[in-house]
Chains A and B, each alone.
Chain A
Amino acid sequence: MNIHWILLIVLFLSGPVWAGEARPLADDPVAEQRLKHLAVELRCLVCQNQTLADSNAPLAEDLRREVREMIAKNMNDQEIIEFLTARYGDFVLYRPPLKATTTLLWVGPFVLVIVGATALVVTLRRRAAKVVDVPVTEDEHRRVEQLLADGGKRS
């Protein structure tokens, strides 16, 4: 056994020691599970396209601390979400509730789909109406045969 093996073993053994930095997360696994579950539903207000769970902004850390404390106080999810929306508005929620101010947000896409589908159907119908069925006469049929035969010879 040479020195390389010993170094390798030392390297692997030291892994869990470094991992100790994120300690507070492991304190209460049930509470952390709830925090995680809540935090992915909440928007970080500083980096607005990140969830509270993903963000490293100081405010996100503070808000996670608040949520952790509320979980420790045995508040339910509804109460915690109400606490945050009372302060930061519906914007903190990734799934905002259906309200007068958010109707366009919720209904808008469906309205657009309906408008688009209607426009598509109307256009297709109009186009179909324009195309008139004209039967091919015997004469024309013969000409096509003739032309095809000529084309075959040429090549």
Chain B
Amino acid sequence: MNRFLLPLSIFIVVVVFLGIGLKLNPREIPSPLVGKAAPDFSQPQLFEPTKVFAPADMKGKVWLLNFWASWCSGCKTEHPVLMDLAKSGYVPIYGMDYKDQRDEAMTWLSRWGNPYPIVGVDDAGRVGINYGVYGVPETYVIDKQGVIRYKQIGPLDPDTVEKKIVPLVKQLEAQ
């Protein structure tokens, strides 16, 4: 019996580690930007290219910044969730159209609905790089002081919105 105890325990430890490894999502890289000031930008707006969209205008508000594109399939998956969240009125969602064609982006929004009060245009992907975006959709929760409090990599789903985003927004609003 004792002979098998050691190999068996080693085996169990290895299996546990492999199991944890399988559950980790390699796409989710912890962002060093959480807890830091949201990088500044000043981008033309999608619907009114002469106007700019800048995070400075958002001071004193809790808001979401959602990087999306009309070419991104995950954004289509996420879209109904954003529409519901926008309708609920808990928090405004501002869009950043990432490396996209202007006309295609506008068509996409008119076809599926527009959850954003303002959409900025990041055609060269530079704002994306400053925010550490490596795949759309990505969503940032930014507090009243302009600090990033949460980063969602990949599409938001109803569960994440209900259990993470809404409670966090309420907590940040209370501050």
Question: Which residues of A are in contact with B by a Cβ distance under 8 Å?
Answer: 45-46, 48, 58-59, 62-63, 66, 85-89, 91
Which of B32, B99, B128, B130 lies at the interface centre, i.e. has the most chain A CB atoms within 10 A of its CB? B32
B130 touching A62, Cβ below 8 Å: no
A88 touching B125, Cβ below 8 Å: no
Can you list 29 contacts pairing A with B, beta carbon distance less than 8 Å? A45-B29, A45-B134, A46-B134, A46-B135, A48-B26, A58-B99, A58-B125, A59-B125, A59-B134, A59-B135, A62-B125, A66-B129, A85-B32, A86-B32, A86-B33, A87-B32, A87-B33, A87-B129, A87-B131, A87-B132, A88-B29, A88-B31, A88-B32, A88-B132, A88-B134, A89-B29, A89-B32, A89-B132, A91-B29
A87 touching B130, Cβ below 8 Å: yes
Question: CA A85 – CA B130 in complex, angstroms?
Answer: 11
B30 at the interface (CB under 8 A from A): yes
Question: CA A45 – CA B125 in complex, angstroms?
Answer: 15
A63 touching B129, Cβ below 8 Å: yes
B124 at the interface (CB under 8 A from A): yes
From residue A39, how far is it (CB to closest CB) to chain B in Å? 15
Question: Which residues of B are in contact with A by a Cβ distance under 8 Å?
Answer: 26, 29-33, 99, 124-126, 128-132, 134-135
Chain A residue at minimum C-beta to C-beta distance from B6:
A119
Question: CA A24 – CA B148 in complex, angstroms?
Answer: 36
Residues of B within 8 A of A59 (CB): 125, 134-135
From residue A113, how far is it (CB to closest CB) to chain B in Å? 16
B129 touching A62, Cβ below 8 Å: yes
Question: CA A80 – CA B135 in complex, angstroms?
Answer: 21
Question: CA A62 – CA B126 in complex, angstroms?
Answer: 8
Residues of A within 8 A of B30 (CB): 89
Question: CA A45 – CA B99 in complex, angstroms?
Answer: 17
From residue A106, how far is it (CB to closest CB) to chain B in Å? 18
Question: CA A86 – CA B32 in complex, angstroms?
Answer: 6
